[in-house]
A and B are shown apart, each in its own frame.
Chain A
Amino acid sequence: MLEIKNLHAAIDDKEILRGVDLKVNAGEVHAIMGPNGSGKSTLSYVLAGRDGYEVTAGEVTYRGKDLLALAAEERAGEGLFLAFQYPVEIPGVDNATFLKTAYNAVRKYRGEPPVDAMQFLKLMRAKRDQLGMSDEMLRRAVNVGFSGGEKKRNEIFQMAILDPTLAILDETDSGLDIDALRTVADGINALRSPHRAIVVITHYQRLLDYVQPDFVHVLSKGRIVRSGSKELALELEREGYAAIATAA
């Protein structure tokens, strides 16, 4: 589904990614771990198409298409979803309106007719309970006044509505207490599917206790220095990034 080859990327002429290689198939859950500054968030932004990140070399193929040639909203239309580390506040725009606008924009990209308010409400209600979202949260302005846990839950809720083919979760566990972590993890697990690939980017291994990855990769100084099974995450937890990165 996703194939990254020798990806190099820079911000303001400073090279952050220095040759990332990664292959992700449908149905798989990959965890990318790494210390601060290793390029984890840069990788997610480059894949999602954020302005200001310059790809200097390499290629990314997603469902047979050249991902890097697509605009950010086209990538979303193609089923790529990024759960943000810091979800953005949009004052005055309620969550439901935001999501419906996004949902119909994606449908439009795929040549499908827009859904009306009633149909959308039905869809939202179906997904709402799964993530413990209240109606009140849906009526509130996007992420405004949300607690850290609510923001992250809202990201996973959006993911459930938009039903992506490839979901990249950027530090979705950061800032969550143990209960919130469990709710979010349950939400992610509910979205595991043979048709969907999930890439979990995380600093700590604790999320992986709840969301079991098929593969674990260690990102260090802009490159994947080791890949392995779930056990690699435990090894990291024990020995720290420094040891692993040096060994590689």
Chain B
Amino acid sequence: MPAASDTVDLVREVTEQKYKYGFVTDIETESVPKGLNEDIVRFISAKKQEPAWLLEWRLKAYRLWTTQEEPTWAKVRFPRIDYQDAYYYSAPKQAGERPKSLADVDPRLIETYEKLGIPLKEQEMLAGVAVDAVFDSVSVATTFRKKLEEVGVIFCSMSEAVREHPDLVRKYLGSVVPYSDNYFATLNSAVFTDGSFVFVPKGVRCPMELSTYFRINAAQTGQFERTLIVAEEGAYVSYLEGCTAPMRDENQLHAAVVELVALDDAEIKYSTVQNWYPGDENGKGGIYNFVTKRGACRGRNSKIAWTQVETGSAITWKYPSCILQGDNSVGEFYSIAITNHHQQADTGTKMIHLGRNTRSRIVSKGISAGQADQTYRGLVRVQPKAVHARNHTQCDSLLIGDKCGAHTVPYIESKNRTARVEHEATTSRIGDDQLFYCMQRGMSAEEAVSLIVNGFCREVLQALPMEFAVEAQKLVGISLEGSVG
């Protein structure tokens, strides 16, 4: 109950400020010249003191990328991106190496995260949540590392992982999303700069929520982070990422890759609260969020659950997927996607059933307002050996106003006769009668929309870790600001 009234308060609060994360941190940065070529790839690799195999991998990706074409099958429209007109590396300047402890981190960075509501000083943090803070191209701080190390959990930036745990990185990097996977994943493989690395060893239940907070600050800069999470036999980890960016008139590219690996009896819960700058009411500016996320349930009885609340970005192109390879493995996808004004989203999931008795569940809630356009695109594929595979898909769209669009494009391929695949879809509108009912009881139109939409999304909000559910609920209200007359 408190969450609903919080939502209501927040909706009012943002009437004046709309996107409150739109500020710019004035900090000296080190960037490479604009554009992309082999030298830039070599520069990034050298900057991160990477081993030769990784540089080779990057170069292979780069060379392949130069021969690839941007995909055009998604239902989104945008002007051609000039990949030579962007910076591929930008990092806050700091004397010498990455700061050894939080005390050495530039106070302006600490302040930036504080303004975003992410205190990096451990004593002020949400109890039980460890944070990796990624600012443009580099990770600037990771909290609670010592405490996690005690139980054997590795949580650090990808750059550090490459230096300190090269064997683990080499074993798993690209094993779920190969460098040749798709145009944006290939680009990412060539120029990825930082991201988080998580390794939970056999039998360990990670004692706290892990979270990465991505912030794009520099202008005309792309963010290409790469996250890799490995849960060994019987391990469990819950991970959350959050994203924001300043308000800028230009479009900025965010092309991330996330790979998850779950071995026998392991479970990974991956949650996203994505609030990249969506552009203004007229569709100017905003982030292009072209992301490849995939999890491999390699072991028997393993489980991967994706939960996402997508409210930001000018364009979202993203399909967090599960490869259900181990027998009895489970894949879940819970999604809330909200598009307002001129935002476009083409998002969904892929569930690939390979093993016996594999199960997947998809719950997608799409809300479209203003002149936004949204597509759910989901693939459920059952391969010949996936005996008794089961899938259930529930895909609901809610429209606010009469200028927005919602589309559902399910792909279902079953090659096993014992499989059971179910798809349910609904499309509805927030009715005038619902709004009037709430307003007659004293609520403003915005409070009413927020309440109704939160109700619509409830099933997915409940799948989020408790620490973030309230936050997400607020975000749902804010994103629909100005959607009713």
Contacts and interface: CB of A to CB of B under 8 A. Distances in A.
A109 B457 CA distance: 28
A210 interface: no
Given A76-B440, A105-B441, A116-B2, A51 B432 contact: yes
B102 to A, nearest CB: 35
B99 interface: no
A37 interface: no
B7 to A, nearest CB: 9
Contact of A105 (B447, B457, B459): B447
Interface in B416-474: 431-434, 436-445, 447, 451-452, 454-459
A100 B1 contact: yes
Nearest to A97: B4
Interface in A41-85: 48-52, 71-73, 75-77, 81-82, 84
A73 B438 CA distance: 8
A205 interface: no
Give the size range of B's interface with the partner.
20 to 34
A73 B434 CA distance: 13
Given A100-B4, A101-B5, A120-B1, A92 B458 contact: yes
A48 B440 contact: yes
A88 interface: yes
Contacts of B432: 51-52
A27 interface: no
Contacts of A50: 436, 440
Nearest to B456: A92
Given A72-B440, A77-B442, A88 B1 contact: no
Nearest to A71: B439
Interface in B74-108: none
A52 B435 CA distance: 13
B8 interface: yes
A93 B443 contact: no
Interface residues of A, number: 40
B455 A141 contact: yes
Contacts of A51: 432, 436
Contacts of A48: 436, 440
A73 B455 contact: no
Given A51-B432, A97-B4, A100-B1, A73 B437 contact: no
Contacts of A76: 439-442
Interface string A190-202: 0000000000000
Contacts of B442: 73, 76-77, 102-103, 105-106, 109, 162
B439 A73 contact: yes
B456 A87 contact: no
Nearest to A110: B442
Contacts of B5: 100-101, 104, 114
B443 A105 contact: yes
Contacts of B447: 101, 105
A92 B444 contact: no
B451 A101 contact: yes
Contacts of B2: 116-117
Contacts of B434: 88-90
Interface majority SS (helix, strand, loop, mixed), chain A: helix
A101 B443 contact: yes
B452 to A, nearest CB: 6
Contacts of B438: 90, 98, 102
Nearest to B445: A73
B263 to A, nearest CB: 36
A71 B457 CA distance: 28
Contact of A162 (B4, B441, B451): B441
A48 B437 CA distance: 10
Interface string A88-132: 111111001111111111100100001011001000000000000
A162 B438 CA distance: 13
Nearest to A86: B433
B456 A101 contact: no
Contacts of A117: 1-2
A105 B455 contact: no
Given A51-B432, A97-B1, A92 B455 contact: yes
B439 A93 contact: no
A165 interface: no
B439 A101 contact: no
A76 B437 CA distance: 11
Nearest to B444: A73
A141 B456 CA distance: 11
Nearest to A83: B440
A91 B455 contact: yes
B451 to A, nearest CB: 6
Contact of A90 (B1, B8, B444, B451): B451
A93 B454 CA distance: 7
A33 B431 CA distance: 29
Name the residue among B4, B5, B434 with the largest chain A CB count within 10 angstroms: B5
A52 to B, nearest CB: 8
Contacts of B8: 101, 104-105
A102 B433 contact: no
Contact of A102 (B441, B452, B454, B456): B441
A98 B436 contact: no
Nearest to B436: A50
B401 to A, nearest CB: 14
* Highest count of chain A CB atoms <10 Å: which of B4, B8, B445, B452: B4
A158 interface: yes
Contacts of B458: 92-93
Given A92-B456, A98-B438, 12 more contacts: A48-B436, A52-B432, A73-B444, A75-B440, A76-B441, A97-B4, A100-B5, A101-B5, A104-B5, A114-B5, A116-B2, A117-B2
- The 4 A-B pairs at the shortest CB distance, nearest first, are namely A92-B455, A93-B455, A102-B441, A76-B442
26 contacts: A49-B440, A51-B436, A71-B439, A72-B440, A73-B439, A73-B440, A73-B443, A73-B445, A88-B434, A90-B451, A92-B458, A92-B459, A98-B441, A99-B441, A100-B4, A100-B5, A101-B8, A101-B447, A104-B8, A105-B441, A106-B441, A109-B442, A114-B5, A120-B1, A162-B441, A162-B442
